Structure 1
């Protein structure tokens, strides 16, 4: 039985500056069932507030409580561990951490920094890591669908480079971290085995959800999906469908089963 739904955003609901065909109607259809929904994204180029504003502008009806971001998870980690951030992130995301107090303990936080990934910034992060800073990765995706409709290199390669050089393993805060999935599920009182995940990333969205204990995960052939992705992951998807409307139909058809 399905009692809760997790939806990815980029590549599932929208791409670039446009909503995918009939995606908003599919979200409304899922909302009409009364099932709780959480939107779980690895987007790290915007603050949660800015992302909410963008989604609202695209016509998506969403509240702050329904949206889970890696930046949000990083703030919670820093508070829990009494640490201050050393940021290697996109300039637009820095405001997410501006209100945090200065603490003695440090944590290097790596996100999709875009053009801010330079030798100097990476070496600065490396030196902080070997000096004892904790290592947090907002996400470790291989690629993302860029605004020009093509795949671009994501932060995963830079996180791996710092892991290799420093000898430290990053704590991944976004998908596919089980803690990230579990936090979203806990917010709606849903057990993992009663939830379904929908995403376009076979590795982070689908396999990540299944390995986190979710009983079902649906892969859509939009966004970053490439033919055969479902055969290249440790935990294959429960179903592979055309797009979000097809995923919504699949969920409604399997809600009680």
Structure 2
């Protein structure tokens, strides 16, 4: 292992390389005090945990590194998601998870809107108590059973009549047990195109999503002190970096070879979640 320190405009940058992984980018050296971890494609795919994911979480928790799971998953409620992950063997608590559904609910309440919810029934639990009679807004999540002509046309007409369009996320695609699958973004874009309006996005990669998740930590943390790890270079990593956090691209899930060069430079690049955990713990324990 070797370390090289460069000085540029009075800021310090670092480059680290070892046998198992590389941090290929130059970035400001800032100690990581907490980690936000994407779930789908980073920790699990479907009902299966990815290799090294469980070990990574155990290591981080044993080292007392604060963790928050941040996910754009909108196909099922937080309770359902946690139940599925526990069944797969991951020890996870409800207060450790911040979802785009949570962000959407917060937004709906803050704006006092009555949504037409284009969601799967498994996700509706997270919107209990929300008024949906005489809707004045369309809220779109990943809802394969809802993306048919009649329902999309209902949403179209509501928006054309003056209703707002809210996207829980605009993910392009995600990794499922059957391979890559189309995400919510295609259907949101269809409504944007046909109604000549722009959706308000509440999930990743929006800056506000990361800052809301940051508030969930008990510690008084600055954005730059938190590392976001995920398999989506644009929504997870570059979104986090634009929001002032550090970003680590994990080469699992939807990751495609060359993503780190094709779309933008991540602060860190790791083969899997366990390598990320080893790096964080190594510098977390430094004085």
TM-score, length of structure 1 as denominator length? 0.93
My pick for the range that moved more, 55-64 or 139-148, is: 55-64
Is the Cα contact below 8 Å between 1:140 and 1:172 reproduced in 2?
yes
What is the aligned partner in structure 1 of residue 223 from structure 2? 192
Is the Cα contact below 8 Å between 1:82 and 1:105 reproduced in 2?
no
* 1:110 matches 2:147: no
What is the aligned partner in structure 2 of residue 158 from structure 1? 187
What is the aligned partner in structure 2 of residue 137 from structure 1? 167
> Match of 2:145, SS?
helix
Aligned equivalents of 1:145 and 1:17: distance in 2? 12
What is the aligned partner in structure 1 of residue 3 from structure 2? none
Higher helix share: 1
Deviation of residue 179 (structure 1)? Answer: 1.0
Give structure 1 stretches of 5+ with no counterpart. Answer: none
- Residue deviations 1:84-103, cap 9 Å, x none? 21011223212322322357
Identify which of 67, 70, 79 aligns with 2:100.
Answer: 70
What is the aligned partner in structure 1 of residue 276 from structure 2? 247
Aligned equivalents of 2:260 and 2:283: distance in 1? 20
What is the aligned partner in structure 1 of residue 67 from structure 2? 37
Aligned equivalents of 2:281 and 2:127: distance in 1? 39
What is the aligned partner in structure 2 of residue 211 from structure 1? 242
Deviation of residue 135 (structure 1)? Answer: 1.2
Higher strand share: 2
What is the aligned partner in structure 1 of residue 131 from structure 2? 101
- Residue deviations 1:62-90, cap 9 Å, x none? 22211011111111111111112101122
Aligned equivalents of 1:105 and 1:79: distance in 2? 14
- RMSD of aligned alpha carbons: 1.7
> Match of 1:101, SS?
coil
Q: Based on CA coordinates, which of the two structures has the bigger radius of gyration?
A: 2
Aligned equivalents of 2:87 and 2:242: distance in 1? 34
> Match of 2:253, SS?
coil
What is the aligned partner in structure 1 of residue 258 from structure 2? 228
Number of residues paired by the alignment? 254
Give structure 2 stretches of 5+ with no counterpart. Answer: 1-30
What is the aligned partner in structure 2 of residue 170 from structure 1? 199
